[in-house]
């Protein structure tokens, strides 16, 4: 696996995403790079937060630029024995146009960010992070605040098998090998296309996706449900997959999250989303 790049805006969502990023980096023996998307000086102080009635005490905010992640590192090491290498991106302003150069310089293969919330507390995906993925060519892991920090055991890639991207399956297989996890290729036919007959679907899967290098980690399900939100609810909550994989602005992505930014994350999808650039 290549290295990971975490976008940090000093929010609780970013800190929660950092917990998972550290765990995954430790499990996959990858370096974790942290890129502050705002200046630390822009983060409200404890006094300012308290005066605004938004904090109950010093534990609600970071007292120093780096101590927050050092605390997470220490806790991870205490609980698991893992201590991944953490580095900070310095001297480069956070702009989507600068993401590609950072990705190349530090051999990054995965972007990570906490899922933001709108004014009503609903999860939403902003266009900026998806642009970063598109410009860098890297998938982005979006972490909801409800997700308990643990490695993935069952990952599901929702696609129409006729358009399944081999590079996505290959990336997931590599990750699955590191985590001793499984990868489900969930075939859900796109609108206007006929449902694939069972034996034919399995034959296509065997010819196009399955091979000797991934057969121990990747498996297939031919989903008959054509309502995408309902099908993905079943995949996540009834089949107990703990990572949902989509391709940005493709049929399954838009049917679940909408067609315009900021994309709304349904309340029933409480697992991380791994979104590959289209």
Gap between the Cα atoms of 5 and 103, Å rounded: 8
Specify the DSSP element, H or E, that contains 179. helix 166-179
The whole-angstrom separation of Cα 41 and Cα 10 is 11
Beta strand spans in 71-138 (E): 86-88, 108-114, 116-117, 123-125
Tens of pLDDT, residues 232-258? 999 999 999 999 999 999 999 999 999
What are the CA-CA distances from residue 47 to residues 15, 39, 62, 201 (Å)?
20, 18, 12, 60
The answer to whether residues 258 and 264 touch, using CB atoms and an 8 Å cutoff, is yes
Residue with tokens 């290729």: 185
pLDDT in tens, the chain (278 residues): 899 999 999 999 999 999 999 999 999 999 999 999 987 655 654 444 444 444 443 334 344 667 889 999 999 999 999 999 999 999 999 999 999 999 999 999 999 999 988 878 789 998 999 999 999 999 999 999 999 999 999 999 999 999 999 999 999 999 999 999 999 999 999 999 999 999 999 999 999 999 999 999 999 999 999 999 999 999 999 999 999 999 999 999 999 999 998 999 999 999 999 999 99
Query: What are the tens digits of pLDDT across the range 49-73?
Result: 444 444 443 334 344 667 889 999 9
User: Would you give the distance in Å from CA 11 to the centre of its chain?
Assistant: 17
Question: Could you count the other beta carbons within 10 Å of the beta carbon of residue 63?
Answer: 10
Which tokens belong to 239?
A: 């089949």
């Amino acid at each position: 696996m290549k290295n990971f790049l975490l976008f940090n805006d000093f929010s609780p969502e970013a800190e929660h995403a950092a917990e998972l990023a550290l765990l995954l980096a430790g499990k996959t023996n990858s370096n974790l790079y942290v890129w502050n998307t705002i200046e630390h000086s822009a983060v409200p102080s404890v006094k300012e937060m308290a005066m605004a009635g938004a904090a109950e005490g010093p534990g609600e905010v970071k007292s120093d630029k780096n101590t927050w992640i050092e605390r997470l590192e220490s806790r991870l090491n205490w609980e698991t024995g893992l201590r991944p290498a953490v580095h900070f991106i310095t001297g480069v302003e956070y702009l989507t146009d600068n993401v590609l150069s950072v990705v190349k310089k530090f051999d990054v293969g995965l972007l990570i960010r906490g899922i933001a919330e709108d004014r009503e507390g609903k999860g939403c995906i902003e266009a900026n992070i998806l642009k970063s993925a598109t410009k860098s060519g890297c998938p982005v892991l979006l972490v909801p605040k409800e997700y308990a920090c643990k490695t993935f055991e069952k990952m599901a890639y929702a696609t129409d098998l006729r358009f399944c991207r081999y590079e996505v399956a290959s990336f997931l297989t590599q990750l699955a090998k590191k985590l001793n996890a499984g990868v489900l290729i969930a075939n859900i036919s796109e609108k206007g296309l006929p449902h694939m007959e069972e034996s034919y679907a399995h034959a296509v899967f065997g010819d196009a996706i399955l091979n000797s290098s991934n057969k121990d980690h990747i498996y297939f399900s031919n989903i008959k449900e054509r309502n995408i939100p309902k099908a993905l609810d079943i995949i996540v909550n009834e089949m107990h997959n703990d990572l949902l994989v989509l391709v940005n602005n493709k049929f399954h992505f838009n049917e679940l999250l909408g067609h315009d930014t900021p994309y709304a994350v349904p309340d029933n999808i409480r697992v991380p989303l791994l979104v590959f650039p289209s």
